[in-house]
Amino acid sequence: MKYVWDPFVRICHWSLVIAFSVAFYTHSSEWHRLIHVRAGYVAGGLLIARIVWGLMKTGYASFDSFPLNPMHAARHIYRVLHGNAKRYVGHNPAGSLVIYAMLATGLTAVGSGWLVFNEGWLIDQPELLQALHHYSTWGWLILVAMHIIGVVTESILHKDNLIRAMITGCKRESRKGEKQARQKII
């Protein structure tokens, strides 16, 4: 077993799951508006903390360990669909793409939600802000669903429980052939 995900990443991940779920569940209720707003603020704080951690941390938490490369992501998805995808100890290229998209969409959802709640602040376009918040939040949900599908698919494909890895921090180590194949891709 290889120690992959540090406690900060795991706590941030599961806290974000909770904050997003609470904010999404309470989004249409005037009664729960403050709960929705506070959950959104927590989600925003967690996103910013994860970005800072990814910029300063080394190892698998670092953004350097999973670069944004759409071509490698497309190649990985092609290989998954054909049953010969490579196994990665950290994020695979398609997972990396979804992670970056979730970070950007999440920040857009939180930022636009903050502006909607604060009545536009310096922007006098309430309908535009509400639409941006609405669509970015639903986009975030779609990306979360893609993330979950990817995690389940990779877990089945490589016989590696990725949900357990995000709880314990440990993941099965790559075999020698898998490491060599990964080096050829990157």
Separation CA 68–CA 105 (nearest Å):
15
Residue where the block lists tokens 């951690």? 53
pLDDT for the residue 104: 97
Report whether pLDDT(179) > 60.
no
CATH value of 2-185 in 1.20.950.20, 1.10.3720.10, 1.10.260.40, 1.10.357.10: 1.20.950.20
39-43, 72-76, 82-86, 143-147 — which is least confidently predicted?
82-86
Percentage of the chain exceeding pLDDT 70: 91
pLDDT for the residue 181: 45
pLDDT for the residue 122: 66
Reported pTM: 0.86
Residues 6+ apart with CB under 8 A from 167: 10, 14
Banded pLDDT at 174 (limits 50, 70, 90): low
